[in-house]
A and B are shown apart, each in its own frame.
Chain A
Amino acid sequence: NAGVTQTPKFRILKIGQSMTLQCTQDMNHNYMYWYRQDPGMGLKLIYYSVGAGITDKGEVPNGYNVSRSTTEDFPLRLELAAPSQTSVYFCASSPGTSGGGETQYFGPGTRLLVL
């Protein structure tokens, strides 16, 4: 059981380039999330999904897009990369079935540097 996996681990982008951050979970979780973490700023929710085909914006969605065609995968697309998108990106998943507080399980993160 690998949990939540993310690729790549690290990437350098030039301003204006695009890329997709990959996220896969093997826990059959319904809910998935993308966060960014800037130094001293905590985790900010970018997008989330409550099931295949259903996505919604979080706190900081501008400059990003997501899709969820399967339960397992939740890629994050950056279009026209900007220096402000330099950050560490975390994907997470949670069961979505408990009816109570959801425990989120995080991937190892992708470090992105936009120059």
Chain B
Amino acid sequence: QKEVEQDPGPLSVPEGAIVSLNCTYSNSAFQYFMWYRQYSRKGPELLMYTYSSGNKEDGRFTAQVDKSSKYISLFIRDSQPSDSATYLCAMSPSGGSNYKLTFGKGTLLTVNP
């Protein structure tokens, strides 16, 4: 079983839809959870950052972490064509190796106007 599993999609939705992106993981040591957004031919950029379990909201974006199920989600409300990108989940443990991120393979999202 891979440490981090992420459905690669592609996912295509109409403008205004609610988008749900998900990752599962197997390493119970993961404590820090991130979502990166990567536009075509660009480097990844941090979108959301969450520590341990719970929800975090930033504008149209909500990140959820359920450590009991080893499952994280990113919700995008009122999706826009500018949200079209690849979304990568990433996670790391606490302690001495907290800087080493393990990435999912990414989900390609297209929002159609």
Contacts and interface: CB of A to CB of B under 8 A. Distances in A.
Interface stretch (A68-76, A77-85, A98-106): A98-106
A48 B51 CA distance: 23
Contact of B88 (A4, A42, A92): A42
Interface of B: 6, 8, 31-34, 36, 41-46, 49, 51, 88, 92, 94, 98-101, 103-106
B61 to A, nearest CB: 16
B24 to A, nearest CB: 14
B88 A107 contact: no
A6 B109 CA distance: 26
Contacts of B92: 101-102
Contacts of B6: 42
Contacts of B104: 42
A31 B8 contact: no
A47 interface: no
A99 B76 CA distance: 30
A103 B67 CA distance: 20
Contact of B99 (A4, A31, A40, A108): A31
A102 B101 contact: yes
A113 interface: no
B41 to A, nearest CB: 8
